[in-house]
Amino acid sequence: MSDVEACLSALRAAGVADVDFAMVLGTGLGGLADAVENPIIVPYAQLPGFPGGGVSGHASRLVVGTLEGKRVAFAQGRAHYYEHGDPRAMAVPVATFAALGAKVLILSNACGSLRSDWRPGSLCIISDHINFAGVNPLIGMKLEGALADSRFVPMNNAYDANLRRMMRAAAVRADVGVHDGIYMWYSGPSFETPAEIRMARILGADIIGMSTVPEIILARHAGLTCVAVAMITNLAAGIEGASPSHSETKEVAGLAAADFQRLIRAFLRDMPAGIPLCCHRKSFAKSATAARYPMRRSRFSSRGSLPAQ
């Protein structure tokens, strides 16, 4: 039995039903899952292939239930590339979300701002990314036969334009200010130097952090439609003399978590029954995803809308 199959049967045994949304909660943002109704909580330790605890600010458990009328699986905590040197560290969780029936993956993270006018405590909807870590979770992934070509994942609409529009609309309704910007993935765990931050700005990044990008690539490969929200916890190294630290990241993320939670709850609440799915999913669903997750084949062949709530 594969890890994904083992996770699925552990979750079913715990009483977990299908979900429409999955969400990865970044550093200091895990509190959103506390509002879930009728939660089923499964520690990562019971899910083979899920990350072990490692970074403070992450709870390492899956919380599945209903929030704002939507079925959601919340991952409280993620594995980072810098913990293991493995960019595929989130492969099993992402594949498990797909196997559970999730169509949309919402990602969140804490990040540094490269713009002095984007202040700590504010939120940014990620519009695109720059993979400056230079590794890719699909490198070396065993994809044989008909699946081999699935590794060439288009990334044009990785941060889905429709979902971003809906997130911006949710921000207006929730009265939360949001920026819209490009995220650079820097491997960490050391923070960047001021020279690296100047370079990142020249290359076109607005914000910088140590996560999210491998998950987006894995999720697009699995046929999930994605949207990502970053919490700016600090000005990046050297900007106005900033010298970021992990304790500052956790502290500011905690302080600004209320806005983040209002935004995500408004997004879920107002999500229509049908969401337009992107082209990649359409072309991909019939081949690679369906074959990789045979237990859920039927989910990937029915497309076009979320079930009515």
Of 154, 168, 83, 79, residue with least CA distance to 126: 168
Contact (CB, 8 A) for 92 and 43: no
According to DSSP, the β-strands at 207-209 and 70-76 are unpaired
Of 176, 159, 255, 293, residue with least CA distance to 215: 159
Give least dist CB 200 to ligand HPA, A: 9
Element of type H or E holding 214: helix 213-221
Residue whose CB is less far from ligand HPA, 94 or 231: 231
The 225-254 contact track toward ligand HPA, x by CB under 6 A, reads: --------xx-x-------x----x-----
Residue whose CB is less far from ligand HPA, 97 or 191: 191
Distance CA 183, CA 200 (A): 10
Give least dist CB 214 to ligand HPA, A: 14
Told to check if 24 binds ligand HPA by CB under 6 A, we report no
Residue whose CB is less far from ligand HPA, 5 or 196: 196
Residue 136 dihedral angles phi and psi, to the nearest 5°: -140, 130
Told to check if 208 binds ligand HPA by CB under 6 A, we report yes
Distance CA 177, CA 256 (A): 12
Give least dist CB 249 to ligand HPA, A: 4
The 97-136 contact track toward ligand HPA, x by CB under 6 A, reads: -------------xxx------------------------
Residue whose CB is less far from ligand HPA, 97 or 183: 183
Told to check if 191 binds ligand HPA by CB under 6 A, we report yes
Provide CB contacts within 8 A for 203, sequence distance 6+.
130, 132, 184
Three-state secondary structure call for residue 158: coil
Told to check if 28 binds ligand HPA by CB under 6 A, we report no
Applying CB under 6 A, which residues contact ligand HPA? 110-112, 186, 191-192, 208-210, 233-234, 236, 244, 249
